[in-house]
Amino acid sequence: MKKSLIAFIMLFFTIAVINCERQPVAPPPEAVLLVLDTIRSGYNEQDAELFYKDFSAIMFTKGFTKDAWFDVIKELKQKLGEWKAQKYLGEEKGAYTWRVQFDKGKTKCVIVLNEEFRVTGLWFR
């Protein structure tokens, strides 16, 4: 009986510790959601101007012209299909991360924003 009680107490504390470590993720600011929605809509509609509407000037350097971004959209859409849903995973130093569900699988989408909520980095990985 004593061993069962000790085992129960240990199990209880183990479960409590695991649940304490899982902190709920606070939702992102509304401005961030608007940027995500614009990117998602531009992706699904294959509308490059809508896709990069919130991009900062730095996003068009090092060979990434507006045409290059349109090529990226087309390539991603061909590989992944339609953007169906996303789950917010959190933010770290201005980098907001989602797990995105597409027709053909899942990937992470990381959007880095500056103080004016302009996109300074975007990755699908």
pLDDT tens sequence across 64-90: 899 999 999 999 999 999 999 999 999
What pLDDT is stored for residue 7 in this prediction?
37
Does 63 have pLDDT greater than 90? no
**Contacts of range 11-14, beta carbons closer than 8 Å, 24 or more positions apart:** none
Query: Which DSSP state fits 27?
Result: P
Domain membership of residue 100 (yes or no) is: yes
Domain membership of residue 46 (yes or no) is: yes
Domain membership of residue 6 (yes or no) is: no
Domain membership of residue 106 (yes or no) is: yes
CATH number of residue 41's parent domain: 3.10.450.590
The number of folded domains in the chain is 1
What pLDDT is stored for residue 16 in this prediction?
42
Do residues 49 and 42 make contact, with C-beta atoms less than 8 angstroms apart? yes
What pLDDT is stored for residue 15 in this prediction?
46
Domain membership of residue 23 (yes or no) is: no
Domain membership of residue 86 (yes or no) is: yes
Give pLDDT tens digits for 22-56.
578 899 999 999 999 999 999 999 999 999 999 99
Contacts of residue 34, defined as CB under 8 A and 6 or more positions apart, other chains included, come to 54, 117
| Domain that includes residue 120, residue range | 29-124
Q: In what order do the strands lie in the sheet with 105-113?
A: 83-92, 95-102, 105-113, 119-124
